[in-house]
Structure 1
């Protein structure tokens, strides 16, 4: 009874103290002080007896001193070991009275709070750990009493705050038990009845010493703890069994929503001239967590419904709501730009970036006019980095329509780099001064900025319509990229910069320098040290990230006519990449040991493979498929289209594995046979999408065993020499007139160039020939000679394929680590390098960079990890419709590529079937676009992300149909198809060149100006070459080749002559306009056709100039165009 009366008086005093001034509070203190002797006597009388009455009196006396702001006396009144005392009280097995339960919670709170003030957080947490479990799982009906709810909430809040401080103070060496206790406390507090029913921003009812001010601060601490666990990779203890990542993501989203709601409701709009720093701090914390959760180490399946896209959009909503509580916050605008970019909302991202640039420039202008330093705006370092991100984003995902915007941003970036420097030269090597001192920028920012400037200039050099400025732009781009790789900036091994520079050097035909750069990047991947990590830059990479670099190396080797080595590189890279897909998506911490990788690979199955392919970014999928297409082109060069066409099914199967679950055919309710009808030449139905046509054997009876698995694990087997006919010598190189035979050869496929001009392997100067009419045969002849020589010297069986590939690569490029299928670290994956080729003893030479031994041991693997910066830590996430459109566009390109292989192999029926498949996919793309917006602008707009527009795809489709008709000696049908292609896409390169060549053939009287009328129409179902018109054209061609005298000149006023003249002039107009576009500046076929037009127009001097330009373009040109290394342009 005495204790109960004392409790009542203390409660009255506490309530009055909060509502009265200090003088009145001092007068009310006297009655409370009189309670101290009474409570002390009660405790002393029962000293030594552990009874509930004594315990209640101790807690009451402690509370009295706590309300009097005397934490030392309060701590002395409470039991020294609260947990032991509670254990003694329940020793007889009886349940506590309801008030004793309240006193346990109250005593635990006061003891922990007093210990925090007097002795630190550690003792307080130790005390809380003994009481919190009782509160987390109450066992009696007292849990619903008001006093118990009040004190238990305070206890859990204090325990959560104290343990959170302990985690912060001890990180990153914090004990796991502390983290677990902190999470348990926060979860118990969040599930408390008063917290769940109350307002998140409501203030607690007590203002005593160290009590939490409001619930929003506890939610903030809760969110801060989860952020620290995520960012510092601390152990996470899930509340239940299951995926830890999924539960962490769910807990993050729930806490973030409540915290953001509570925080923004408390925030007020700032006054004029002030900034709301608390809001900006909150935004930065949210962004840091978002960068990790939506980064490469997390997947959609970790987030449940909506995946990472839903999480990113929630972050976007937070940014917009935060913007309503700030005034012109450049930080929020910068983050809006970045999040919109990741969500593939590039137009909105550019608007945010433009606003950001405008605000920063305006603030700096005002500061310059006032003569005061700019305050409250982004510093120059952050501003330059943001501009660099903008340049790289536009160059990577924008099309030629956005080239002007990239040029504008590049100019702003150049001015920002030179605004604070006396010398306006970009390269730190050229001005001879410390660029960091001149500009006030960090070295990492300078490297990023120079790379962005170089990429921006290179991008504009690709698309500029001003031909005269292209060389200067290319030289400036190379200079800036070399500056980004300078040693003083510490980024001389950066693969992203090396890739952009090497691609630029390749386009300018400096192949030796480009090969050296690529070799440096590939050999140094993974040995860049910890500098990028310390600078806060992203350090994630994998096998698939370096595929464009390997692809560029393959094209460089093909340009140097090292076709066999290039083919071996393709094989080894594809084998490694497809194998690495099974574990490359695992977090880096989970794949440190090579033995563990082998175990994962051994246990992986088809379902895991499919899931791994789903998680690959679409740009990486496209780069792998492009590499496989280049591999088939190399096979065609080495062994002919008859061999390459046998592996088209593998290419389609690879596409099917990558895009199996993106819903390409969900909306299609058609039978599978409607997608692909087996041709008449099929031996059966097999393969991709329920059916893939068989192939009749070539007329020459060639039967090559060039075997591939779906993932490219088997290397090509050299065909027997007896399978080839080598009686015919290589054709001589001569200037041809672009006749129908020349038009039959390999065309360009969606950005590639095929029917072209090239020097012979022997490189005789100043002589041209049609590439497809001779280069492939000459190369195949040389390959056969090499094969016959090797077989004449040895009759041994084929060596191990992987070892052969690795040795071939090592022989050509000894400093590159060639990829191999073996990913373990065993000795079998290593081989000693040859001795150092000079007089000094090898063991006296210092070990090379990245090696600890001399002579070094070469690891024949594709680099699996490296440290290089990318400007965004998160992966760009395109909407499903865009992915479907881009995938269908890629599938269209594949089918057209396959159709070209069949056409060049003389299998016209199969070529037509492939073309029909491409046409079907183009229809699907058109339907997808029409569902979004049915307008001429929508069909012609390629949008962002590197996808082709619907009209451009139709242009590709009809252009290939035109070349197919031309190969069948049906020039007028080809002209109709080319005209159709130009209706869809007026600037289509292949269609323009094909049509112009036929128009020039009309001028040369190789074909009549009008299509002859036939008496009987041939059977449309037959694709035989025996129709009268085709036979007549073949005879006419033979007569032309036999050098029959030219027909007599016609009267210049005759309709026939005027028709020929109109054809010539139209061809000239088409080619002249095409070559002035940035898209065709390096298209040799277009320039060669223009030279023909100049020649027929008696402009011999211009024709010679153009022909010399054709020689420059054709000199050391790759098997496919450089732009096929990836859809991101110069961005790795």
Structure 2
């Protein structure tokens, strides 16, 4: 009988525990009555159960929105307090019963809105209480476990409202481990899920509020908040329920919606981007984990917002949506800024993240009416994604809405609605001007000029007063800038940014304007704007304004003033960098690399004063003063010293792990414009060495240029994937039968011991054995085993049978970086063929080039596949574009294979390109544009090296460099064709200063033309210059070179070529300026001596012989080409073009005009730098 009673008591107690856990409060009265009968000693348990029933009945009976309690119900609840206190004072109660009664008493006071009493009734120290409960021999019941969570929530919430967040966080911390580590069956009960969600949400909200207050914003607080938010987000009720519903239900006196908790969760994640360290919940990299977590929470918050937001009425702003958009955009600016990389994101990298933000903006636009904020942010994101056409559309729409609203406000304030702030509007216009000037060309310069006029009008309407004197601290007091017309005055920073943008827009338009007469006035207006900007400049923007101002001073030939401004800025920045160096020991600021263009400009300014020694020292100072750039710079004078240094010394290779750990400002984190500015600075340094020591000396130093390029534009991780032994590159692949294969690693890094293997499968005039590779110059820097190798393709090309004797020189003993020892080369027929050109050849030459990919040859058919596989290593050889020229019977078709381990090309295709954007985020171009930009820079390097060889009289090696440039240009053409195979695509220049494929070909042919002139082959030079103009009609170098030769023909310095029968050039493209009665005279060079020179009487004005007509046509065509060229922005300050034009004026008898032009040439030459000012970088006046 005793066992039966004990079993019944146990069942009643278990039923009571289950009813309380499941929230079945209606079952409690009956169970309490039975337990009172069968368990009279459990008075504490019975009293606590009765009180819980009455509290639950009270909470369920009142409306969820009630804020007051009726008197009768309040009195009834108060009557329960004495009974609970009396049973708690009794001795001998089970520990769990007393604990449950204590929690019930605290719950009762909390329900009665008595947080102070609730906190005092609950255990003072939950850690001690939990230790006591855990030390009891009796296992904890399910309801006791729930009471632990329940009591922790009530006490923490009460402490937060009474004594502050610090005590509440301490209580939550003691209970939180119990929630995350509990293994009993209670987590599945409704009451456990209910109270655990309450605890987690309250703990997360209180901790996040404490982290935002300041004094408590430490890493421990943020770490606890993130942990609570993560546990709450993984809670079953949150994962399964409605994200926007009320989380705490009607039982809570402080109901909080899940939407507000998600918003707070997103807020604490956002704060980690700016203030404190991030606590990663897993072992994955912290940054990658943060971006993943942020994007997940951001998507949930957006879904809640879009779901619960309705489209507003007209002219009504949806502030909730706009505030959310602004918060997301602030995070986007940081995550897509210079301190974050693609590796910090998941699949897709920063580009995918930006496109998600872009989609969010368009979805947010569906919940707003003409939101200027969203349009402005669309402009920012499209610009960062290099979608400049869409960015301009968004900017234009933003401007139209803003200006129309302001126009309506002038008539009626009520009809205008909410107006855009003048400061924001001025700042956005400034951003648009900077973007168009930095990335665009002529059309964009026109658009920037329109925005400049609009911004000037805005500042005039506001009557902004700029102080003439700069205060000692470099800032302008807010009161010094006033506004009228009821508008809020602009801040000094905004005024400075606006005037800097005006100066950039005007200076950029001065470059492009075709009206030479107004250029000086535009430049003067731009200088005035820059002066106003500097007068109220903030320290953060002084570099940008100083650079633009000094560059414009240089272009207007005020050399001394420009030097003074740059020197003052560099000295000031150097002192600031010394003060900040200790605070940034592991992270290299991008600001330091902004100094490179200033140092470069200073070097050019000094060269304009003929102070080449000081200019060279300025170049050295640029590499030495910028730590991240200094890691990239290999000076020849220090090469031997670096070899003798012991491991662990300061000169750690920048691509090594130790070098990367020393600073994160290396090539992987540099923007493309920064890399370009470094390469351009190195080219200027070599140009100065050529002036001071001769071209041979510069050539000996030129290897570092290609080595620097390889380090800057090569991804070391991509190189590791295809890394193989060097001996493997010497073995021809099995699939390369019948082809000539290039095996050298670099034209400027070959070791003497390396030899090419013999090949079979060639006949005719070609050799079966490739020549030995010559050794590098003793002064060259030894190849670094960690440095990537620049692979050179298409080396062993066959030589055309029409080669002149001077082209066939081999086995020379001259010491230089690159020497041809009889290597077989096949040049392009258009560049090496000296046979007479037929009209069909002239007209269809580009057609052959455009269609050589579609040729029937195996190489041509495989070309698209080869280009598609350049993204990664492959076991099959990849064939480069075969040389076209089927119209020449002496040139046989050849195919040239590329080594499969071509790390240089693979890394280019795997790299992303970043340019500075209007916001803190970085503009990222597509991979194709990135490759075209990088290859265009490599082409410029090869052509520069070709010029050095040409100046040194090493014509064969100059031709080699031209051929390497041609190979890279073919790859650029193939990349463009892969996107759009049309004449417009080949001729269109890319955004961000990227040259078009046609302009790159023009550069190559112009250099070939100069090389032919240096070899005393003027008619070959004419053909090359004609080819250059056929690709790019307004090419500066090609036009000047051709015009000079045409003028030489007119004054009989250069004899006429023999007339070819049946050649009518009246309809030939590119020669429309010739007289319709003239014929183009061409003849092979071998027949020059057989021709009869033009006699003196042929120059008579009354002479109508064909020779005289040809000479007149040559002069007229030269005049037409030069007259058009000098009206363009690319040649307005070209002394060569103006001097050639003066020759044309002189030969046509216009002596006064010739004198005027010559004086202009003297003015240009008097303060001309060693290289043009525009070679500082592709961003123009935008730093």
Q: TM-score, normalised by structure 1?
A: 0.75
> CA 1:687/1:464 → structure 2, altered by over 3 Å: closer, same or farther?
farther
Asked if the contact 2:653/2:659 (under 8 Å) is kept, the reply is no
| Equivalent in the alignment of 1:749 | none
The aligned runs of 1:827-906 (5 Å cut-off) are: 872-906=919-953
- CA shift at 1:203, angstroms? 1.6
SS in structure 2 at match of 1:619: helix
Aligned to 2:885: none
Secondary structure class of the residue paired with 1:1010: coil
Indicate the residue corresponding to 1:345 in structure 2.
Answer: 387
How many angstroms does 1:577 deviate by? 4.4
Q: Structure 1 residue 542: deviation in Å?
A: 3.8
Give yes or no for contact 1:403–1:460 (8 Å, CA) kept in 2: yes
2:1034 corresponds in structure 1 to: 987
The CA deviation string for residues 1052-1098 of structure 1, in whole angstroms up to 9 with x for no partner, is: 21111111111111111111111111211011111111111111111
Distance 1:1036 1:561, change over 3 A: farther
The residue number in structure 1 matching 2:1004 is 957
2:628 and 2:749 mapped to 1: Cα distance? 35
> Is the aligned partner of 1:449 residue 2:498?
yes
For residue 514 of structure 1, the aligned residue among 534, 553, 562 is: 562
Deviation, structure 1 residue 182: 1.5
- Quote the residue 2:843 is aligned against: none
Number of the residue aligned with 2:546: 498
Matched, 1:54 2:104: no
Q: Does 1:265 align with 2:294?
A: no
Query: Structure 1 residue 286 and structure 2 residue 337: aligned?
Result: no
Match of 2:1170 among 1104, 1119, 1122: 1119
- Paired position in structure 2 for 1:1066: 1117
2:249 alignment counterpart: 206
Render the CA deviation track for 1:567-624: whole Å, top value 9, x for unaligned. Answer: 232234235547556699xxxxxxxxxxxxx988659653565883122110011001
2:271 to 228, 234, 242: 228
- Is the aligned partner of 1:977 residue 2:1013? no
Change (3 A) 1:899 1:673: farther
Task: Name the CA distance, whole Å, in 1 between partners of 2:745 and 2:110.
Answer: 87
CA contact (8 A) 1:1051 1:1057 kept: no
* Inter-CA distance 465–22: structure 2 relative to 1 (3 Å threshold): closer
Q: Whole-Å Cα distance in 2 between the matches of residues 603 and 1001 of structure 1?
A: 53
Please point out which of 132, 136, 154 is paired with 2:198: 154
Give, in whole Å, the separation in 1 of the partners of 2:653 and 2:1057.
66
> Is residue 2:449 matched to residue 1:419?
no
Number of residue equivalences: 929
Q: 1:242 and 1:541 mapped to 2: Cα distance?
A: 27
Q: Distance in 2 between matches of 1:69 and 1:681?
A: 82
Deviation for aligned residue 1:20: 10
CA deviation string 1:956-993 (max 9, x = no partner): 11211222222222222222221221121111111111
Say if 1:270 and 1:325, in contact at 8 Å, map to a contact too. yes
Residue-by-residue CA offset, 1:432-477 (whole Å, 9 max, x unaligned): 9986114611111111111111111110111100100001011111
Residues of 1 paired with 2:973 and 2:659: CA distance?
Answer: 31
Q: Is the Cα–Cα contact under 8 Å of residues 464 and 470 in structure 1 kept in the other structure?
A: yes
The answer (yes or no) to whether the contact 1:555–1:566 under 8 Å persists in 2 is yes
Aligned-partner Cα distance in 2 for 1:580–1:182:
41
Describe the SS at the equivalent of 2:919.
coil
Closer/same/farther in 2, CA of residues 601 and 353 from structure 1, 3 Å limit: farther
Q: Within 5 A, what are the aligned runs for 1:1009-1028?
A: 1009-1011=1056-1058
Aligned to 1:635: 689
- C-alpha change, 1:1082 and 1:582, in structure 2 (3 Å) is closer
**Following TM superposition, by how much is the alpha carbon of 1:999 offset from its aligned partner in structure 2, in angstroms?**
1.2
SS of 1:112's partner is helix
Alpha-carbon distance in 2 for matches of 1:490, 1:31:
68
- RMSD, aligned α-carbons: 4.1
The 1:600/1:874 distance shift into structure 2, 3 A limit, reads: farther
Q: Matched residue of 2:702: which SS?
A: helix
Checking the alignment, whether the CA contact within 8 Å between 1:678 and 1:693 is kept in structure 2 is no
Indicate which of 1034, 1041, 1045 corresponds to 1:998: 1045
Q: Which residue of 2 aligns with 1:165?
A: 209
Answer whether contact 2:563 2:602 (CA < 8 A) is retained: yes
Tell me whether 1:618 sits opposite 2:672 in the alignment: yes
Check if 1:63 corresponds to 2:114: no
On the 8 A contact 1:641/1:904 being kept in 2, the answer is: yes
Contact 1:336 1:352 in 2 (8 A): yes
Distance 1:687 1:561 in 2: 45
Distance 1:221 1:80, change over 3 A: same
Residues 508, 1013 of structure 1: alpha-carbon distance in 2 compared, 3 angstrom cutoff: same
Determine whether 1:138 maps to 2:182.
yes
CA drift of 1:908 comes to 1.6
Quote the residue 1:388 is aligned against.
430
Q: 2:1098·2:1108 contact (CA, 8 Å) conserved in 1?
A: no
Q: In the alignment, which of 656, 659, 664 is matched to residue 606 of structure 1? A: 656
Partner residue in 1 for 2:528: 479
Of residues 219, 222, 226 in structure 2, which corresponds to 1:179?
222
8 Å CA contact 1:681, 1:910 repeated in 2: no
- The CA deviation at 1:363 is 1.1
Q: Name the residue aligned to 1:655.
A: 709
Q: Distance in 1 between matches of 2:175 and 2:1130?
A: 73
Q: Once the two structures are superposed, what CA deviation does each residue of 1:226-280 show, in whole Å capped at 9, x if it has no partner?
A: 2223222x23322234533333333222222222222332222222332111222
Distance 1:941 1:374, change over 3 A: same
Of 285, 290, 296, the match for 1:248: 290
State the structure with bigger RCO (CA 8 A, min sep 6), 1 or 2: 1
Match of 1:764 in 2: none
What SS class does the counterpart of residue 485 from structure 1 fall into? helix
2-structure distance, mates of 1:1075, 1:99: 91
C-alpha separation between the residues in 2 aligned to 1:66 and 1:303?
A: 45
The 3-state SS of whatever aligns with 1:231 is: coil
Q: Which residue does the alignment assign to 1:218? A: 261
- Give the drift of 1:22: 9.3
Secondary structure, in 3 states, of the residue corresponding to 2:1130? helix
| TM-score normalised over the length of structure 2 | 0.72
Does structure 2 conserve the Cα–Cα contact (< 8 Å) formed by 1:681 and 1:909? Answer: no
Question: CA 1:41/1:672 → structure 2, altered by over 3 Å: closer, same or farther?
Answer: farther
SS of residue matched to 1:326: coil
Q: Kindly tell me: are residues 985 and 175 of structure 1, through their superposed partners in 2, closer, same or farther at Cα, counting changes over 3 Å?
A: closer
Q: Is the 8 A contact 2:632 2:711 kept in 1?
A: no
Gapped runs of 5+ residues in structure 1? 533-537, 585-597, 698-702, 712-722, 725-868, 1015-1027
Q: Deviations over 1:384-420 (max 9, x none)?
A: 1111111111111112331101111111111111112
Residue matched to 1:325: 367
CA contact (8 A) 2:597 2:677 kept: yes
Matches within 5 A, 1:666-677: 673=741
Q: Secondary structure at the match of 1:953?
A: helix
Cα deviation 1:165-212 (Å, max 9, x = unaligned): 1112234x5343322222221122122222222232122252455534
Q: Which residue of 2 aligns with 1:552?
A: 601
Match of 2:730 in 1: none
Instruction: State the Cα distance separating 1:86 from its structure 2 match.
Output: 2.3
Give the superposition deviation at 1:503. Answer: 0.8
Mapped partners of 2:375, 2:675: distance in 1: 32
Largest Rg, 1 or 2: 2
Tell me if 1:943 matches 2:983.
no
Match of 2:1131 among 1080, 1100, 1113: 1080
Q: State whether residues 200 and 216 of structure 1, in contact with CA within 8 Å, keep that contact through their aligned partners in structure 2.
A: yes
Once residues 36 and 492 of structure 1 are traced to their aligned partners in structure 2, the CA distance between those partners, rounded to angstroms, is 65
| Partner of residue 299 from structure 1, selected from 341, 346, 350 | 341
For the residues of structure 1 that align with 2:579 and 2:624, how far apart are their CA atoms? 32
Change (3 A) 1:328 1:694: farther
Distance 1:1034 1:681 in 2: 44
What SS is found at the alignment partner of 1:1002?
Answer: helix
